[in-house]
């Protein structure tokens, strides 16, 4: 009998065909999610792309998503290098996204409560009030509203009030420009560094520094007065006083303004995509309105009520599937890793294409359709292992995930409860942008046709165990 010897020779990583000089940059820049998915179909789970001459390995698909949470993935991948330039730009020693291992676990523990769903507990009546405030300002009946920008203001108002007790609305544009330039040049590296010399960036950056300094001064004063609040920013300050070597003074500005970097574009893109899907897809709007009306008819809203908005939450999930804000995660290998028969050397900068399965028939029936029912108990398409990763995977998975879900539930339910909205025209097709975070384009507008329900305040929820 002849023994069958398994071929253990590592496979050769295929190079994705591109055009001279720019390589794959243009196609990837236009629609990164579609590009990674197409390459996966053509080349398999590991391939090399060329971004303006920089060769970058991509590992993609459900196996790659699952790999991130395995022991080999947790130990074999780090985040540091992609965020180093960002941290240095602020003259800080660290950010949560840039550290790994034990110090990352420690920092996540400091921030866990402040970024958790519980941070919104007992505050739903206030959240509804902030949303109403922003609806009165930016969603006037009879006018067209730029959806993304209006949500950006709404989110800064809600996140600012919840996490710091103040909403820096006058800084929204500066925060956005700052994020856009910094993520493009220093983290995703799809723009050259000289981009940061632009007067537009310099002005915005100065204003964000000013916001950081003011916030640090306000919280230093709280600390002196013994009035540090019980929220994320309060926790960061307490951690600084407990161990000034770990949470250094020079880290405070970037840590205290961090929630805006993490939550502004991510939430704004997702709820904007949901608005489009709801208005565009026949039969969806009526079900969203019915669920929203039932919620606010209660007069008091709790965290459980918002989590139980099954249909609205499914619309939000569908938006995160079709327009994932994090198309892939960027990591460096800490050592040689083996993945799907390929050997990837140590210190290699990788993109992990976790969103690729979002667009695969194998996991999602008719994947390009906006179909909230795919998340129903009967279908649960997103529960297939590795299929759905809008909040990333592994140790750096989104710390604000549960909070984001309830905030987005409030944003969508309150907006559709309060206003009649319609697309510019029924045949309008959403335009998308790729950077700094992929999602609906700033040009996406809706008609605010009129009021459905008045801004009746909610009664504060009665907290158990208080």
Residue 348: Cβ-neighbour burial (10 angstroms; 0-12, 13-18, 19+): middle
Does residue 173 contact residue 143 with C-beta atoms inside 8 Å?
no
The Cα–Cα gap between 249 and 94 comes to 11
Q: Determine which helix (DSSP H) or strand (DSSP E) holds 46, and give its type and residue range.
A: strand 46-51
Q: What are phi and psi of 54, to 5 degrees?
A: -85, 120
Q: Which CB contacts under 8 angstroms, 24+ apart, belong to 281-285?
A: 281/370, 281/371, 284/315, 284/370, 284/372, 285/416
Choices 30-38, 167-175, 303-311, 393-401 (CB under 6 A): range interacting with ligand HEM? 393-401
Does residue 127 contact residue 409 with C-beta atoms inside 8 Å?
no
| Residue 447 β-bridge partners | 144, 422
Choices 56-64, 287-295, 341-349, 394-402 (CB under 6 A): range interacting with ligand HEM? 394-402
* Footprint of ligand HEM on 101-120 (CB under 6 A): 108, 115
User: Nearer to ligand HEM by C-beta: 102 or 225?
Assistant: 102
- Is residue 130 within the footprint of ligand HEM (CB under 6 A)? no
Smallest separation (angstroms) from ligand HEM to the CB of 226: 26
- Is residue 320 within the footprint of ligand HEM (CB under 6 A)? yes
- Is residue 284 within the footprint of ligand HEM (CB under 6 A)? no
In this chain, which of 284, 325, 411, 415 binds ligand HEM, going by CB under 6 A?
Answer: 325
Q: What is the separation, in whole angstroms, between the first and last Cα of the chain?
A: 75
Binding mask 336-375 for ligand HEM (x = CB under 6 A): ----------------------------------------
Nearest to 134 by CA among 367, 358, 410, 406: 410
| Number of shown-chain residues binding ligand HEM (CB under 6 A) | 25
Smallest separation (angstroms) from ligand HEM to the CB of 118: 13
User: Nearer to ligand HEM by C-beta: 108 or 452?
Assistant: 108
- Is residue 392 within the footprint of ligand HEM (CB under 6 A)? yes
Going by the DSSP 8-state scheme, the letter that residue 24 receives in this structure is T
In this chain, which of 263, 273, 357, 367 binds ligand HEM, going by CB under 6 A?
Answer: 263
In this chain, which of 131, 267, 344, 351 binds ligand HEM, going by CB under 6 A?
Answer: 267
Select the residue whose beta carbon is closest to ligand HEM and give its number: 400
- Is residue 89 within the footprint of ligand HEM (CB under 6 A)? no
Smallest separation (angstroms) from ligand HEM to the CB of 397: 6
In this chain, which of 321, 396, 414, 418 binds ligand HEM, going by CB under 6 A?
Answer: 396
Smallest separation (angstroms) from ligand HEM to the CB of 100: 9
In this chain, which of 167, 239, 256, 404 binds ligand HEM, going by CB under 6 A?
Answer: 404
Smallest separation (angstroms) from ligand HEM to the CB of 359: 16
Q: How far is residue 454 CA from its own chain's centroid?
A: 31
Token match 């939430």: residue?
A: 267
- Is residue 134 within the footprint of ligand HEM (CB under 6 A)? no
- Is residue 382 within the footprint of ligand HEM (CB under 6 A)? no
In this chain, which of 158, 288, 292, 326 binds ligand HEM, going by CB under 6 A?
Answer: 326
- Is residue 411 within the footprint of ligand HEM (CB under 6 A)? no
Q: Which residues of 274-287 are buried (b: 16+ CB within 10 A; e: fewer)?
A: bbbbbbbeeebbeb
The Cα–Cα gap between 57 and 168 comes to 40
Residue 169: Cβ-neighbour burial (10 angstroms; 0-12, 13-18, 19+): middle
Does residue 438 contact residue 33 with C-beta atoms inside 8 Å?
yes
The Cα–Cα gap between 38 and 30 comes to 13
Pairing of strands 439-440, 77-78: unpaired
Interface residue list for ligand HEM (CB under 6 A): 96-97, 108, 115, 159, 259, 262-263, 266-267, 270, 320, 325-326, 329, 390-392, 396-400, 403-404
């Amino acid at each position: 009998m002849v023994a069958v010897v398994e071929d253990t020779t590592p496979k050769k990583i295929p190079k994705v065909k591109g055009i001279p000089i720019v390589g794959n940059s243009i196609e990837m820049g236009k629609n990164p999610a579609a590009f990674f998915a197409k390459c996966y179909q053509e080349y398999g789970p590991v391939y090399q792309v060329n971004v303006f001459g920089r060769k970058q390995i991509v590992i993609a698909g459900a196996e790659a998503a699952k790999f991130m949470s395995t022991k080999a993935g947790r130990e074999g991948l780090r985040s540091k290098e992609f965020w180093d330039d960002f941290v240095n730009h602020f003259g800080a020693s660290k950010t949560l996204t840039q550290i790994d291992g034990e110090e990352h676990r420690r920092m996540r523990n400091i921030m866990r409560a402040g970024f958790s769903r519980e941070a919104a507990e007992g505050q739903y009546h206030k959240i509804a009030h902030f949303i109403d405030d922003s609806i009165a300002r930016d969603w006037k009946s009879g006018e067209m509203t730029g959806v993304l920008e209006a949500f950006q203001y709404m989110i800064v108002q809600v996140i600012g009030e919840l996490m710091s007790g103040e909403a820096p609305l006058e800084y929204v544009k500066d925060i956005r420009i700052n994020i856009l330039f910094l993520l493009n040049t220093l983290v995703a590296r799809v723009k050259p560094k000289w981009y940061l010399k632009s007067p537009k960036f310099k002005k915005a950056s100065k204003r964000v520094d000013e916001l950081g300094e003011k916030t640090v001064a306000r919280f230093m004063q709280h600390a002196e007065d013994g009035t540090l609040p019980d929220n994320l920013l309060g926790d960061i300050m307490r951690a600084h006083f407990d161990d000034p070597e770990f949470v250094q003074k020079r880290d405070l500005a970037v840590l205290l303004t961090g929630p805006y970097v993490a939550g502004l574009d991510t939430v704004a893109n997702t709820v904007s995509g949901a608005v489009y899907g709801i208005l565009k897809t026949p039969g969806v709007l009526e079900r969203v309105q019915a669920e929203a009306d039932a919620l606010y008819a209660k007069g008091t809203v709790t965290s459980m009520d918002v989590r139980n908005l099954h249909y609205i939450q499914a619309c939000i999930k569908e938006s995160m599937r079709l327009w994932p804000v994090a198309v892939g995660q960027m990591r460096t290998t800490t050592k040689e890793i083996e993945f799907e028969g390929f050997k990837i050397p140590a210190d290699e900068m990788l993109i992990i294409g976790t969103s690729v399965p979002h667009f695969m028939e194998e996991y999602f029936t008719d994947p390009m359709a906006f179909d909230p029912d795919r998340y129903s108990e009967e279908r649960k398409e997103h529960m297939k292992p590795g299929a759905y990763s809008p909040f990333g995977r592994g140790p750096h998975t989104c710390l604000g995930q549960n909070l984001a879900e309830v905030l987005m539930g409030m944003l969508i339910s309150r907006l559709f409860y309060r206003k009649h909205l319609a697309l510019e025209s029924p045949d309008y097709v959403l335009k998308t942008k790729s950077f700094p975070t992929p999602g609906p384009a700033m040009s996406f507008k809706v008609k605010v046709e009129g009021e459905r329900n008045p801004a009746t305040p909610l009664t504060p929820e009665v907290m158990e165990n208080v």
